[in-house]
Amino acid sequence: MTAKDTRTAKRSARPSSAPPAEDLAGENPAALRKLLRDMLLIRRFEERAGEQYALGKVGGFCHLYIGQEAVAVGAMAALRDDDLIMCSYREHGQALARGVSARAVMAELFGKATGSSGGKGGSMHIFDREKGFLGGHAIVAGHIPLVTGAAFAIKYKGGDQVAVGFFGEAAVNNGAFHESLNMAALWKLPAIYVCENNRYGMGTALERASAMYDIAARTCSYDMPGETVDGMDPLAVRGAMARAAKRARERYIPTLLEARTYRFMGHSMSDPIHGHYRTKEEVELQKARDPVVTFRRTLVDAGMLDDVMWESMQAEVEAEVEDAVRFADESPDPEPAELYTHVYRAP
Amino acid sequence: MPTVTYRDALNQALREEMRRDPRVFLMGEEVGVYQGAYKVSRGLLDEFGPLRVVDTPITELGFAGVGVGAAMAGLVPVVEFMTWNFALLAMDQIINSAAKMLYMSGGQVSMPIVFRGPGGPALQLAAQHSQAFESFYANVPGLKVVAPSTPADAKGLLKSAIRDDNPVVFIEGEMLYNTKGEVPEGEYTIPIGVADVKREGTDVTIVAHAKMVAVALRAADELAKEGIGAEVVDPRTIRPLDVATLTASVRKTNRCVIVEEGWPFAGVGAQVAYDIQREAFDHLDAPIVRVTGADVPMPYNKPLEKLAKPDAAKVVAACKQVLYQA
């Protein structure tokens, strides 16, 4: 769907059905297998994170990304190493897709000194400055102005990076979202706002929270390009991100991207997968769109993946996650003196 | 030494720091074309252009967050709030984003940003425009809170705030912008966290910051006529608080009155009184007395407003109370 189409898009709350597979001719098979591997890593990592939460190794709130892997993986595949990324609190997947090590993310979930934020951030505040990964942020929509500010800084310095923000569909009803998009369009900032529409803000369905259901269409208020993509298809996400990044790098034009996806787990580890707010049947129906299963099939059909490759990919990923869990478990807690470090930066 | 208004002293600080460091930029409502709602940014747009002097929509949450994001990406933003009353909308960004970024990133992401603008009541602006928020921000670890009382302090402290690698809440005064004072020529800064004795005395210590320093000095003049020597100590910075200088004064005078525009409950004076009794309990000859804004939303009516604000007469009365001369 092009930017223009979005403005007249039909109101629809239904997740888009999988589009016809993009033509894979010209694609590098190894690069596509890497996308599958990245999604599989997130899937296995999150399964283990949930298990470790149940064992009491992970505390606080823990929001799993299972079901949404194609968004982070597809988006990151279109970005450069010097781009800046900010996320909401459901950001384990983006961190892994960005190349933050599974060890550093798992250790952060465990609250250990070896974690990406030294154990002070936890599941909701993963940072890796060197990777341009500027945080998970835990107030819904609160980081959207920060993305705008990072884009402002890029333009201020005359750079051609992009600032990318990931957030859920519940954030778009928040003032911070509107204030940010208005300024980004007004000042022509190289920002890409990625709305991961997983249909539910905790237990509140989009239709119960939003007066209009077509999120990308909200860009008509800001004269900003908007695009809706199948968030279960990493190639569709990658394509849309590439188009948005090109606009931002070359012409400082911001974009709102709506990726229609679905959360297979509860809002956080303490929430039910289904219950009063959605039915088991709905969740099962959505699982037919499972991005890992679907994309694997796409690669098999295209002759880019055989059983041997798949088995070895699985073994590799499982070993990586197992290693991350062991590393996190064996790592030390931060020293008590760390309580008082990093409150202020010393001159 | 040249005599300069508080407004122009701030303007000099901004201009000098923007010349010194190309990463410094100013953003806020009416800071550019309009030359600043209170003219603090007069002439800056002409000198530095619209990239560095940025007029924003009326969207405090949004542009405060833009400042925070810009700081995360390597700039040094000075975010102007037309008044601190409007910054309530931006509190999520100041407290949840700016104050915590360094800590929750495990020391990876610094936050060199200044949030500045006038705070405290002016004249007959009524309930929503007449509030002093120093204690709100001073409660938050990660923030520094500065509230200068004179042009020289305003300039030296704003320059330090801009150079600081931490988020600084810089609270000016609408009623102070026109006040004049001597400002040193040339380059100088005043360190954050250092109090200043504005007037020496031996009989009673008056602790006051920002606009209340002038009130305290008027009270000291009145007390001098009766042979009472009041020492006026201006913390200048609310967080970090220079407890050593405050208690040194109280050890000398043995009596203390604390003045602030804000509300009494959990106000700045509550913390100052706690610190002084902890550090100088044996030196106190009387319980510490606080003079604060009345514990009410600010009324519009002029006589009622006067009743609600600290003034020299109230400070004189408080000093006599701690001297047991009431």
pLDDT above 70 for B159: yes
**Inter-chain CB proximity B103 and A157 less than 8 Å:** no
Segments making up each domain of chain A, as ranges: 60-202+213-271
Report chain A residues whose CB lies below 8 A from the CB of B165. 345, 347
Q: Which residues of B touch A152 (CB under 8 A)?
A: 66, 69-70, 73, 75
- Which of B129, B222, B279, B283 is the catalytic position? B129
Which three-class secondary structure state does DSSP give residue A258? strand
CB-closest option in A127, A151, A176 to B105 = A127
CB contact (8 A) between residue A183 and residue B64: no
* Closest partner CB to A183 (pick from B66, B92, B166): B66
Query: Are A156 and B25 inside 8 Å of each other by CB?
Result: yes
Interface test with B, best of A156, A178, A340 (most B CBs within 10 A): A156
User: Between A117, A156, A344, which is nearest B51 by CB?
Assistant: A156
Residue B65 pLDDT = 98
pLDDT band at A8 (very low <50, low <70, confident <90, very high): very low
Sorted by sequence, the CB contacts under 8 Å of residue B256 that are 6+ apart come out as B204, B205, B206, B207, B250, B273, B276, B284, B288, B289, B322
Contact status, residue A70 vs residue A237, Cβ threshold 8 Å? yes
Phi, psi of A81 (to 5 degrees): -65, -25
DSSP bridge pairs for B54: B27
Q: Which of A110, A140, A179, A180 to mutate to test the interface with B (most CBs of B within 10 A)?
A: A179
CA B181, B184, B187, B192 dihedral sign is negative
Closest alpha carbon within chain A to B73 = A150
* C-alpha radius of gyration, chain B, whole number: 19
With 50 as the cut, is the pLDDT of residue A1 above it?
Answer: no
Average pLDDT over residues A332-337: 98
CATH superfamily for domain A60-202+213-271 = Thiamin diphosphate (ThDP)-binding fold, Pyr/PP domains (3.40.50.970)
The residue count of chain A comes to 347
State chain A's mean pLDDT as an integer.
Answer: 93
- Percent of chain A at pLDDT above 70? 94
Nearest CA in chain B to A164: B69
Q: Which amino acid is at A265?
A: M
Same fold? B3-182, B196-322: yes
Q: Model-level pTM?
A: 0.95
For residue A166, CA distances in Å to A177, A207, A304, B138 come to 12, 21, 30, 32
Kindly give the interhelix angle for A175-186 and B60-72, rounded to the nearest 10 degrees: 70
* φ, ψ (nearest 5 deg) of residue A138: -110, 10
Contact state of A343 with B142 under an 8 Å Cβ cutoff: yes
In single-letter form, the type of residue at position B49 comes to: G
Options 3.30.1950.10, 3.40.50.1370, 1.10.3720.10, 3.40.50.920; which CATH number does B196-322 get?
Answer: 3.40.50.920
Q: Which residues are CB-neighbours of A116 under 8 A, at least 6 positions away? A: A95, A100, A104, A105, A107, A108, A126, A127, A128, B106
Q: What's the pLDDT tens digit per position in B262-295?
A: 999 999 999 999 999 999 999 999 999 999 999 9
**CA A253 to CA A152: how far, in whole Å?**
12
Best residue of A105, A162, A343 to probe chain B, by most B CBs closer than 10 Å: A343
Chain A residue with Cα closest to B92: A142
Best residue in B21, B88, B105, B109 to probe A by mutation, most A CBs within 10 Å? Answer: B105
- Interface A-B, measured as beta-carbon pairs within 8 A, has a size of 149
- B106 contacts in chain A (CB < 8 Å): 115-121, 127, 342
| Strands B144-146 vs B168-173: parallel, antiparallel or unpaired | parallel
**Rounded CA gap, B40 and A337, in Å?**
42
d(CA B54, CA B39): 15
Quote the minimal CA–CA distance from B168 to chain A in Å: 11
Going by pLDDT thresholds of 50, 70 and 90, the confidence category of residue B138 is very high
Classify residue B39 by burial, with Cβ atoms within 10 Å: 0-12, 13-18, 19+. middle
pLDDT exceeds cutoff 60 at A77: yes
Report pLDDT digits (tens) over B90-124: 999 999 999 999 999 999 999 999 999 999 999 99
Residue from B251, B267, B258 nearest B233 by CA = B258
Residues near B286 by Cβ (< 8 Å), separated by ≥ 6? B254, B255, B321, B322, B323, B324
Q: Which of A121, A135, A152 sits opposite B66 (nearest CB)?
A: A152
Name the residue among A149, A175, A186 with its Cβ closest to that of B68: A149
Residue B283 known to be catalytic: no
End-to-end CA distance of chain B: 41
CB atoms within 10 A of CB B297: 12
Q: Check pLDDT > 90 for residue A7.
A: no
Average pLDDT over residues B155-174: 97
- In chain B, where the domains are located: 3-182, 196-322
The Cα A93–Cα A42 span in angstroms is 6
The yes-or-no verdict on residue A327 having pLDDT over 60 is yes
pLDDT tens digit sequence for A251-262: 999 999 999 999
> Is the CB of residue B234 less than 8 Å from the CB of residue B208?
yes
The 10 Å Cβ neighbour count of residue B281 is: 9
Contacting residues of A for B77, CB less than 8 Å apart: 149
**Predicted local confidence at residue A23, as pLDDT:** 73
- Among chain B, residues having any CB pair with chain A shorter than 8 Å are 25, 51, 54, 56-57, 59, 61-75, 77, 92-93, 96-97, 101-111, 141-142, 144, 164-166
Mutate to test the interface with A, among B24, B27, B103, B146 (most CBs of A within 10 A): B103
Are B108 and A128 an interchain contact pair (Cβ–Cβ within 8 Å)? yes
Residue B39 has pLDDT above 80, yes or no: yes
Q: What are phi and psi of B54, to 5 degrees?
A: -110, 115
User: Looking at this predicted complex, what is its ipTM?
Assistant: 0.96
What pLDDT score does B326 carry? 78
Quick check: B103 and A144 CB within 8 A?
no
pLDDT of residue A19: 43
Q: Is the pLDDT of residue A16 over 50?
A: no
Supply the angle between the helices A29-54 and A102-109 in degrees, to the nearest 10.
20
* pLDDT per residue as tens digits for the range B49-79: 999 999 999 999 999 999 999 999 999 999 9
- Please give the structure tokens belonging to residue A25: 């001719």
Query: What homologous superfamily does CATH list for B3-182?
Result: Thiamin diphosphate (ThDP)-binding fold, Pyr/PP domains (3.40.50.970)
Among all chains, which residue has been given the structure tokens 């010393």? A346
> Are residues B92 and A139, on separate chains, in Cβ contact within 8 Å?
yes
Q: Which residue of A has its CA nearest to B67?
A: A149
CA of B263, closest CA in chain A: separation in Å? 27
Query: What would the pLDDT profile of A104-122 be if each residue is shown by its tens digit?
Result: 999 999 999 999 999 999 9
CB contact under 8 A, B62 and A182: yes
Grade residue A22 by pLDDT with cuts at 50, 70 and 90: low
The helix (run of H) or strand (run of E) holding residue A256 is strand A255-260
b/e string for B141-158 if b means 16 or more Cβ within 10 A?
ebbbbbbbbbbbbbbbbb
CB contact under 8 A, A142 and B96: yes
Catalytic pick from B17, B29, B60, B305?
B60
Tally of residues, chain B: 326
Q: Please give the Cα distance from A231 to A295 (Å, whole number).
A: 12
Q: CB-CB: which of A128, A129, A183 is closest to B62?
A: A183
Please give the distance of CA B36 from its chain centroid, rounded to a whole number. 19
C-alpha distance across the termini of chain A, in Å: 51
Please name the member of B59, B106, B107 whose beta carbon is closest to the beta carbon of A179. Answer: B59
